[in-house]
Amino acid sequence: MTNREMMWIAFAGIITVMFILDLFVFNRKSHEIKFREALAWTVVWVGLAMAFNVGVWYVLGPAKALEFLTGYIIEESLSVDNLFVFIMIFSYFKVARAHQPKILKWGIIGALVMRGIFIVVGIELIERFHWMVYVFGAVLIYTGFKMAFGGDDEVHPEHNPLVRLARRFIPITRRARGDHFFIKRCGIWAATPLFLTLLVVESSDVIFAVDSIPAVLAVTHDPFIVYSSNIFAIMGLRSLYYLLAHVMEMFVHLKLGVSVILAFVGAKMLLADLVEIPLQLSLGVIVGALTISVLSSIFLGGKKGRG
């Protein structure tokens, strides 16, 4: 058995065990996740990711460990934008806090599958058609520019193709019935608004993947590093959502920092054939952008609000 195969098995084992514990043991019943619980699970997932990174360093070497760390930080930083969208989606459908974890749980399950498909397709496209690197780079720069100067995001679930398709072929109840996605009414199965919310969350993740996967591919084309860093970030997304949902208003400049990261990674892809930007420098720029955006939010955000 090769070192890489050992790492795949270790990764699969860790994710499977934690997946069962997090989603089906400790959070089996729908309940509102408080700040302390969200903080505890966030620490657990970040700690696991860093411990796994140590394992990558020991088994695959420092270069791969640096790739994993950079990819993980990129994915976590881009997840911040996802959280803003999730908040608006839940607000639109008036989803109770106690029912939001179940939607995010199934959203994560869908993301595990879709990210794998996107990664395989993305790597295959780059390997077969080198010019796709420029396409991905341009997409990232455009997304970063739009995030920085495009104004506030708006969510229009009524225009979502999956929602329109579901409403056309499936009976939909007007109100939620507990945390059920489907209920039987008058002998007929009908979907609840929670199911429509799940459809919007899943389709939103497809859009997020269009940004996040190319961003990590700018760091490495190694399928193991890309997928493992993505999945560790995604698995911690649910707890991170509840952690930041309580303090989201504090980080008014965070999206600007994320937009800088997108633009930088996009430029890195466009310049790949002309100049090689060291991974250490890339990691420094990414961490620096996040740090500056967080500090400016803390020390300047409040002044801006009072002004």
User: Could you read off the pLDDT of 237-260 as tens digits, one per residue?
Assistant: 878 877 776 666 667 777 788 888
Residue 62 has pLDDT above 90, yes or no: yes
Of 194, 231, 216, 205, nearest in space to 265 by CA: 216
**What span, in angstroms and rounded, lies between the C-alpha atoms of 17 and 222?**
24
Lowest mean pLDDT among 11-25, 70-84, 145-159, 246-260: 145-159
Task: Give domain status of residue 251, yes or no.
Answer: no
Across 96-116, average pLDDT:
82
User: Which range marks the domain in which residue 164 is found?
Assistant: 3-245+262-272
Query: In this structure, are residues 159 and 92 in contact, taking their beta carbons and an 8 Å threshold?
Result: no
What phi and psi values does residue 276 have, to the nearest 5 degrees? -95, 115
304 falls in which pLDDT band (50, 70, 90)? very low
Under the banding of pLDDT at 50, 70 and 90, the label for residue 46 is very high
User: Per the domain annotation, does 67 fall within a domain?
Assistant: yes
**What mean pLDDT comes out for the span 138-142?**
86
Please, what is the average pLDDT of the chain?
Answer: 82
> What pLDDT, in 10s, does the model give residues 76-96?
888 776 777 787 788 888 888
Query: For residue 307, what pLDDT band results from cuts at 50, 70 and 90?
Result: very low
Query: Per the domain annotation, does 127 fall within a domain?
Result: yes
63 phi/psi in degrees, rounded to 5: -65, -45
As a whole number of angstroms, the distance between CA 62 and CA 278 comes to 14
254 part of a folded domain = no
Helix (H) / strand (E) containing 183: strand 182-185
Tell whether the model's pLDDT for residue 73 goes beyond 50.
yes
Q: Is residue 78 part of a domain?
A: yes
| Residue at 296 is within a domain | no
Distance CA 89, CA 198 (A): 10
181 by DSSP, 3-state: which? Answer: coil
pLDDT band at 266 (very low <50, low <70, confident <90, very high): confident
Looking at residue 247, what is its pLDDT? 66
Determine, yes or no, domain membership for 297.
no
Grade residue 152 by pLDDT with cuts at 50, 70 and 90. low
pLDDT at position 210:
75
Position 291 in a domain: no
3-state secondary structure of 170: coil
Question: How many domains, in total, are found in the chain?
Answer: 1
